[in-house]
Structure 1
């Protein structure tokens, strides 16, 4: 049985740092959740550090600007680690070559700017698919379109043996009441078609290595036993925490609200059934971060 909390404060004294997800926990893509903001502010007030750990396919500076626009104040977090930065580290190590076909929106072009963690970043050129050495996917061209629209391009890419770098392993995200496709859906399709997809966000290790590096930049040495991962994705946030051997708080009112019958709090039986089916056990659960 997964213990259900009514607030983060019930267990916060057990931890010195949070790896906190954004979408579905701290905001809904439209506005910040005030109770979640207050919970993070309270955690920091008692000396804890908050790393915003997100599968956003963009540099952390872009994410900082985004959350500010959504109403998340600076005093609710300390630093940011993004799947975008984790994937950029790999891209600038040329894991998919230097001439790449980019799948994504114009707003994601900052992905291709040099990253300070690598000296003498090579130039990455965005080119048409027939000229590409690999694919960089920061998201679909149209977040509402079925990923299957990419099948013709993916068939061609697979035949050429191109690798696909996925900057956001999430399959879907809810922007307010609208569900949108993410880069992970395209990467999964490419893999199903026989192509090779490379992942760099949650639940994969590289983004946790980056999160620990960001935490260390704060001058904070925190043992894994004193880190709590907070998130609404059972197959990303919670699975990733298990893989890193850190505790997790599953926010059931996000992506799994229907399956866990979450209004204010999840239904215990529905939650336990969902967790059992996912074969991924969180340390705790809560309806909304508060």
Structure 2
């Protein structure tokens, strides 16, 4: 049964490292959550290590720049692992061929920068003509505010041509401030429903957890076992499902994506939480309204 806690400090002594989600846990896409930042700083002061594990479809350097602007200081984390970097490994080792059609926003251009860790990377070129493409790369919708079904004509042609899709962000939606936006997962989900083939990266899929462990080791945590790692996040189908699949304990932040389903008058409601968990068929180890 999921244990309710009042703060991260209630259980922090049981874990040597956190795999901590960003959006919905540390920031809302606009500004940082001060209590969450303080909780991670306190955790690190006690000797814990923090890997920011995010489904952002961008390189970790770009994510570090972004969160600094939101107000998340480097004192709150040790390293970053992104679904974008995990997907880039697949891209530059030829997962969808060498000529790709990109679905996504211009701000995701960094995704196509080669990774230094890949020897003899596949030379990737981009095309706006699906008839010339060997695959599709999705970092998100062209317009995150538009319903993904607007992409159906493009996806139908891609499926007809049997083009595989590399999805760099499995999240379905995120909340940017008080506005909900669609992510790459919504596009990939539609493509699969239409009969297309999707190679997915990021939580809950294993490649990004492998990268998180490598990044943790690089930062000095090579001796930390899975039993001493806690996954923190607000996505039941990404953070919690991924943690369960990896054999990690999880802390479900209920005040993020699932707040409308679980909270009553702004407060975590046990009955609603239990109903939500039962409906999803995924039981986190712990639950907390907001990270603090």
Tell me the TM-score range normalised by the shorter chain: over 0.9
> Equivalent residues in 2 for 1:1-290 (5 A)?
1-128=1-128, 129-220=130-221, 221-261=223-263, 265-290=267-292
- Higher mean C-alpha deviation, range 141-150 or range 121-130: 121-130
Change (3 A) 1:263 1:222: farther
- Conservation of the 8 A alpha-carbon contact between 1:168 and 1:184: yes
CA deviation after TM superposition for structure 1 residue 263, in Å: 5.2
Q: TM-score, normalised by structure 2?
A: 0.98
Alpha-carbon distance between aligned partners in 2 of 1:9 and 1:117, rounded to the nearest angstrom:
36
Q: Summarize deviations over 1:228-268 as a string: whole Å, max 9, x none.
A: 00000000000000000000000000000010015554100
Alpha-carbon distance between aligned partners in 2 of 1:148 and 1:258, rounded to the nearest angstrom:
24
Query: Tell me, which stretches of 5 or more residues in structure 2 are unaligned?
Result: none
Alpha-carbon distance between aligned partners in 2 of 1:262 and 1:142, rounded to the nearest angstrom:
32
Q: What number of residue pairs does the alignment pair up?
A: 290
Change (3 A) 1:155 1:176: same
- Higher mean C-alpha deviation, range 89-98 or range 120-129: 120-129
Runs of 4+ in 1 over 3 A off after TM superposition: 262-265
- Higher mean C-alpha deviation, range 211-220 or range 245-254: 211-220
Alpha-carbon distance between aligned partners in 1 of 2:266 and 2:71, rounded to the nearest angstrom:
22
Q: TM-score, normalised by structure 1?
A: 0.99
- Higher mean C-alpha deviation, range 114-123 or range 219-228: 114-123
Query: Tell me, which stretches of 5 or more residues in structure 1 are unaligned?
Result: none
- Conservation of the 8 A alpha-carbon contact between 1:26 and 1:36: yes
Alpha-carbon distance between aligned partners in 2 of 1:155 and 1:27, rounded to the nearest angstrom:
36
Change (3 A) 1:198 1:254: same
CA deviation after TM superposition for structure 1 residue 131, in Å: 1.0
Alpha-carbon distance between aligned partners in 1 of 2:8 and 2:54, rounded to the nearest angstrom:
19
Alpha-carbon distance between aligned partners in 2 of 1:190 and 1:112, rounded to the nearest angstrom:
22
Alpha-carbon distance between aligned partners in 2 of 1:50 and 1:119, rounded to the nearest angstrom:
29
CA deviation after TM superposition for structure 1 residue 219, in Å: 2.3
- Conservation of the 8 A alpha-carbon contact between 1:21 and 1:53: yes
Alpha-carbon distance between aligned partners in 2 of 1:256 and 1:278, rounded to the nearest angstrom:
11
When the two chains are superposed, the root-mean-square deviation of aligned CA atoms in Å is: 0.9
